Amino acid sequence: MRKWVLLKAYCNQNLGDDLIIKILLERYPDYCFFYENWYNESEASEFCKYENFYNIKKYEKNVFRKQGNNSIIRRLQRIILERLIKRIRTKSIASVQVGGSMFIQRDDSVARKRRYLLDYGPMFIIGANFGPYYSEDYVDGYKEFFKRCKSVVFRDKYSYQLFSELPNVEYASDVVFALEDTKRLDKPRNIVLISVIDLSGRTELQQYKEVYESTIRSICVDWTKKGKKVILVSLCKNEGDEECINRVHESLNFETRELVGKHFYRGNIKRTLQLFEEAECVIATRFHAMILAMEYDIPFFVFSYSPKIENVLDDFGIKSYCRISSLSDSILEQIPIKMISLDFEKKKQMFINPFQRLDEFLDN
């Protein structure tokens, strides 16, 4: 008999979130995870290759080997499908929400909107950070919500301390640190990875768009002159990374452009991880580009666009980074000097299993 777990996640072909889902599915192959999104039934389709993952479209194909060829039959099939999915919800043994920036304050009603998940088995939240927020009422609302969860695991100590009085709230490592078989090449290739974000749609950061992209462009010129192969890396197409890369790439002169490659993540997890295995160093703006550099023991430097990045760096005792809001011409000289190499033993000692409570629950 199948044991169903409801899955709540950010499925938007964002490498960090996709890695988290991959790790979850591979860790619990004996449990079926159901991802429900009626607005986009094919969302998260890249995970349908896993036998223990279902979205609405895959479940529908599993129930109806052949779809009806007229509107009446299709309508009946849809009614049956909705009832079966309702049974999954009511019969599920747990709800699991995984991801990072799940609790950014946009309005005061978000905590209330999430409470429906508590109706479908014990609720586990894994790998999140909290905020940014602007209202203590928002924090208090989530305190009430978290009290009703089975377990809440934050990936940074700042978020944990906001709710540390709750006995079911804990701090653990980012889920991506649980990746297996992450070994850097003994002799890395002459590759510098630069992960970027698009500041155009970020209200609080769009004023820095020109100086940020100019800095990325200058880094490309500087490091190619040093004989390095530079690759601009997009880790989330739908948040504009590719557009930013194309603007920077097109602004380079022909000679430099020929030496600067582009890599667009579009669900190709294996190939993207291979780039990190081969890299000599990483200049990261994306959060999980930073985490992967740590995981693969690659020297890295960070352009921070969010407190969530700085909070994790602080947890590791790392003070060497540059806020996008503080970019200046001197940064080109500082990057090679301020590259960080995370000590493997320190990382190993600091690792705290983010799945411990879910492991215990499912084992019982």
**How does pLDDT run across 174-187, given as a tens digit for each residue?**
999 999 877 777 77
Q: Mapping DSSP to helix (H, G, I), strand (E, B) and coil, where does residue 164 land? A: coil
Least confident of 213-222, 229-238, 306-315, 326-335: 326-335
* Phi, psi for 124 (deg, rounded to 5): -120, 130
| Residue-wise pLDDT tens digits, 221-248 | 999 999 999 999 999 999 999 999 999 9
Q: Which residue has the higher pLDDT, 7 or 38?
A: 7
Highest mean pLDDT among 45-49, 100-104, 309-313: 309-313
| Low-confidence winner among 68-77, 162-171, 282-291 (lowest mean pLDDT) | 68-77
Task: For residue 132, say if its preceding peptide bond is cis, omega within 30 degrees of 0.
Answer: yes
- pTM for this entry: 0.92
Supply the pLDDT for residue 329.
Answer: 82
Q: How confident is the model at residue 43 (pLDDT cuts 50, 70, 90)?
A: confident
Strand order in the sheet with 169-171: 53-54, 32-35, 4-8, 94-98, 123-128, 151-154, 169-171
Q: How many CA atoms lie within 13 A of 309 on its CB side?
A: 21
Does residue 188 register a pLDDT over 60? Answer: yes
Q: What pLDDT does 76 receive?
A: 85
Tell me: pLDDT of 137 over 80.
yes
If pLDDT is split at 50, 70 and 90, which confidence band does 73 have? confident
- Greater model confidence, 340 or 66: 340
Tell me the one-letter amino acid at 73.
Answer: I
CA distance 115 to 118: 5
Could you give the C-alpha distances from 125 to 170, 179, 241, in angstroms and in order? 10, 19, 27
Q: What is the pLDDT, as a whole number, of residue 114?
A: 63
Portion of the chain with pLDDT greater than 90, in percent: 68
Region of 128 (left: φ > 0; alpha: ψ -120 to 50; beta: rest) is beta
- pLDDT averaged over every residue in the chain: 90
- The per-residue pLDDT for 117 is 65
Cα-to-chain-centroid distance, residue 319: 23
Task: Give the Å distances, CA to CA, from 70 to 42, 62, 66, 142, 312.
Answer: 21, 19, 12, 47, 54
Higher pLDDT, 69 or 338: 338
In whole angstroms, give the CA distance from residue 293 to residue 301.
9
Flag whether pLDDT at 111 surpasses 60: no
Report pLDDT for 364. Answer: 82
**Confidence category of residue 198, pLDDT binned at 50, 70, 90:** very high
Cβ(55)–Cβ(48) under 8 Å? yes
Q: Per mean pLDDT, which range of 91-95, 245-249, 342-346 is the poorest?
A: 342-346
Residue listed under structure tokens 């978020």: 159
Region 143-165 average pLDDT: 96
Q: What b/e sequence results for 189-227 when a residue is b if at least 16 CB atoms lie within 10 Å of its CB, and e otherwise? A: eebbbbbbbbbeebeebeebbeebbebbbebbbbbbeee
163 or 108: which leads in pLDDT: 163
Q: What is the pLDDT of residue 219?
A: 96
User: Once rounded to an integer, what is the mean pLDDT over residues 71-76?
Assistant: 81
Structure tokens at 67: 């779809």
CA atoms within 13 A on the CB side of 330: 5
Q: Which residues pair with 193 in a beta bridge?
A: 231, 282
